[in-house]
Amino acid sequence: MRLLDKLDSAADRLFYIEKTVEHGWSRNVLVMQVETGLHRRQGKAVTNFEASLPAPQSDLANNLLEDPYLFGFLGLEDDAQEREVEKALMQHMRDFLLELGVGFAFVGNQVRLEVGGDEFFLDMLFYHLRLRCYVVVELKAVPFKPEFAGKLNFYLSAVDDLVRHEQDAPTIGLLLCRGKDETVAEYALRGTSQPIGVSDYQLTEMLPEALAGKLPTVAELEAELEAADGGGEGDE
C-alpha cells in the first residue's frame, strides 16, 4: 500500500520491492528510502570503476554508490566544516550506515597511515562485505577539485599496501563533496589508476520556495503541541 500510494511508476515500485526483499527493510525504512528518492540517486555517482575494476565488481560497485547522499539527519547547517560533518557522522553512525547502504562495515575514522616516515590520516575507513574490499571515504566541505582525486589515489595505494589482505579486492575510494562539475570530475578520474567515486552530499533538505514559506515555524508547532497537551489533560 505504501508503494501504491507514493509511487506512480510500476518500474519504480519493482525497484523498491526487489531492494526490500534483498535487504529485509522494515516498512519504516522502505518509506524513508522512497521519500528520499533512492531510485533516482543510486548508481549516479561519477566513477572510473569500469576502467579500474574487473567487470563483475565494477558493475556492483557502481550500483552501490549514490548521488547525492542525504545527511539531513545530522542537524547541521550548509556552512558546516569538514570536521563538524565527520564528528556528526560518527555520532549518528547508524543513520550514516543506512544512508550508505547495506554491506558497509565501519572500521575507523582518522585512521593513521605511515608512508615514507610521514603520517597521513584517512577521514573514514569502511569494509564492504559484498565487494570484499576496504572503502576509504574522504569528506570535503567545498565543491570537487581535481587535486582531491590525486590525494585519494595516494591514500588508496597506501591502504592496498599497508592494510589490505591478499584475499581482499582492490580498495575503493569515495569522495563526498559539497557539489561537483561532472565533466571536471570525469576528467580528473580518467587519469587515476585507483577506483574512485565522486558524489555530492546535502546537509539540509532542499524544499521548493513556494512550499518552504507555507511550512509552520518552530514556535507555531510548539504552540500547537502545548494546546494539544492542555486539551488532553482537560478531557481526562
| pLDDT tens track for 110-160 | 999 999 999 999 999 999 999 999 999 999 999 999 999 999 999 999 999
**More confident of the two residues 221 and 92:** 92
Across the range 8-16, mean pLDDT stands at 92
**Calpha distance 179→89 (Å, rounded):** 18
**Overall number of domains in the chain:** 2
Answer yes or no: do 3 and 47 share one domain: no
Residue 162 lies in a domain: yes
User: What pLDDT shows up at residue 150?
Assistant: 94
Domain assignment of residue 231, yes or no? no
Band of pLDDT at residue 222, cut at 50, 70 and 90: low
Question: Which residues are registered as beta bridge partners of 137?
Answer: 124, 174
Distance CA 90, CA 48 (A): 28
- Which of 10, 25, 41 is where one domain is finished? 41
Check whether residue 111 and residue 216 sit in a common domain: yes
CB 180 within 8 A of CB 145: no
C-alpha cell at 8: 506512480
Is the entire prediction scored with pTM above 0.75? Answer: yes
**Are 74 and 181 in a shared domain?**
yes
Domain that holds residue 20: 1-41
> In 59-180, at which residue ranges do the beta strands (DSSP E only) sit?
69-70, 104-115, 118-128, 133-139, 172-177
CA-wise closest residue to 183 among 198, 202, 201: 198
Q: Do 36 and 58 share a domain, yes or no?
A: no
